[in-house]
Amino acid sequence: METGAHLLYFGDNAEGLRQLEQEQRLVDLVYIDPPYGTGDEFRIDENRANSISASGVPAYSDRTKGEEYLTALEERLFDIRMVMADHASIYVHIDVKMEHRVRVLMDSIFGTQNFRNSICRVKCNPKNFDRYGYGNIRDTILFYSKSPNRITWNPQLTPLSNEQLVRLYAKVDKEGRRFTTTPLHAPGNTENGPTGQEWRGLPPPPGRHWRYTPDKLDELEAAGRIHWSRTGNPRKIRYADEIEGALPQDVWEYKDPQNPVYPTEKNADMLAQIIKTSSNPGDTVLDCYAGSGGTLLQAASLGRNFIGMDNSPASLAVMTRRFKEASLDYKLVQLRELTGTETTTVTATA
């Protein structure tokens, strides 16, 4: 797909995904935030979006629950996998009540070997509701790849603060360079290989093997990269001035907008982080539960193509307005017609 060839499907994503498959279009990254089977009805009212108010027009229904909900999601996940390129990744956003059920589905469709992370996302400030239980301020993003190797991976390193540098790189050498040390051995016995042998008269500790062959350990020693403790324990030196930054861990704090333009609208910076990490410019990003179109807008602004899908007239209205404001060219593929009432919804929210 050439850059700028953005596609927006209005209608059931089952049909949209089938079309992609028939046209043999492959995507490089998938982010989805499907309904969570909450039993709620989400509404939208003059750009205020919530699930509590009875006013406004319906945005989307999350009434399907239990096994019916899981079966529908399983079918979509299966279809999504079919349109993913071999190097593609998928991020599935889900709440704490459903995460374990959806993870079982993901394991069976994508394979446990392709599980990458279960990301704990801090989504809001603490709320002091009275309840028999701790407050819930997080949800989950399940991250899987299509294949175990060669996935697109551009980790977004964050620079370390001075306080972190001093804490994490506490030792200073004769030249004044801050450093820390890491073990030279790893878990697991190597029965016959060179990493199981003695190095400089030292066997690896019981149940472990050297991380490097004896030749490589000699090289590290000659390059001054091995620090010997007072008890004669060798460790590898890592200098602070050679570190590009810290790899993001699997707890993310990206709170959702206080005044969303669409119910359950997700944090734009979080979406940008996912897109930058797991795709390259010119790639195609799929969000087939697009809602407010946040994923699609971030993808376009980062030089990716997008394929968006949603079957809600309110979502279509919000996306149409936002794409126009962003002067985005896209092709609308209408999989279903709007009824008379829905046309009113689109006009009211656009």
Ligand X SMILES: C[S@@+](CC[C@H](N)C(=O)[O-])C[C@H]1O[C@@H](n2cnc3c(N)ncnc32)[C@H](O)[C@@H]1O
- Residues in touch with ligand X (CB under 6 A): 12-13, 33-35, 60, 262, 264-266, 289, 291-292, 294, 309-312, 315
Minimum distance from residue 105 beta carbon to ligand X (Å): 16
Minimum distance from residue 32 beta carbon to ligand X (Å): 8
| CB within 8 Å of 188: residues ≥ 6 apart | 207, 208, 209
Residue nearest to ligand X (CB): 291
Beta carbon nearer to ligand X, 35 or 204: 35
Minimum distance from residue 220 beta carbon to ligand X (Å): 47
The CA distances from residue 236 to 74, 92, 221, 247, in Å, are 46, 38, 9, 19
Beta carbon nearer to ligand X, 234 or 308: 308
44 contacts 59 by C-beta, under 8 angstroms: yes
The CA distances from residue 4 to 7, 83, 303, 304, 306, in Å, are 9, 20, 8, 8, 8
Beta carbon nearer to ligand X, 84 or 290: 290
Beta carbon nearer to ligand X, 138 or 225: 138
Minimum distance from residue 92 beta carbon to ligand X (Å): 11
Dist CA 145 CA 55 (whole Å): 41
Beta carbon nearer to ligand X, 13 or 114: 13
Beta carbon nearer to ligand X, 184 or 290: 290
Beta carbon nearer to ligand X, 311 or 349: 311
Burial of 325 (0-12, 13-18, 19+ CB in 10 A): exposed
Beta carbon nearer to ligand X, 25 or 322: 322
Euclidean distance between the first and final Cα of the chain, in Å? 29
Minimum distance from residue 305 beta carbon to ligand X (Å): 18
Dist CA 272 CA 266 (whole Å): 11
Question: DSSP letters of 173-235?
Answer: -TT--EEEEEESEEES--SSSGGGS-BTTBPPPTTEEESS-HHHHHHHHHTT-EEE-TTS-EE
Minimum distance from residue 49 beta carbon to ligand X (Å): 9
| CB within 8 Å of 25: residues ≥ 6 apart | 1, 83, 284, 307
- Going by their DSSP bridges, the two strands 57-61 and 41-45 should be labelled as antiparallel
Beta carbon nearer to ligand X, 237 or 270: 270
Minimum distance from residue 144 beta carbon to ligand X (Å): 18
Residue type, 169: Y
| CB within 8 Å of 54: residues ≥ 6 apart | 43
- Going by their DSSP bridges, the two strands 284-287 and 27-32 should be labelled as parallel
Minimum distance from residue 301 beta carbon to ligand X (Å): 15
Minimum distance from residue 241 beta carbon to ligand X (Å): 40
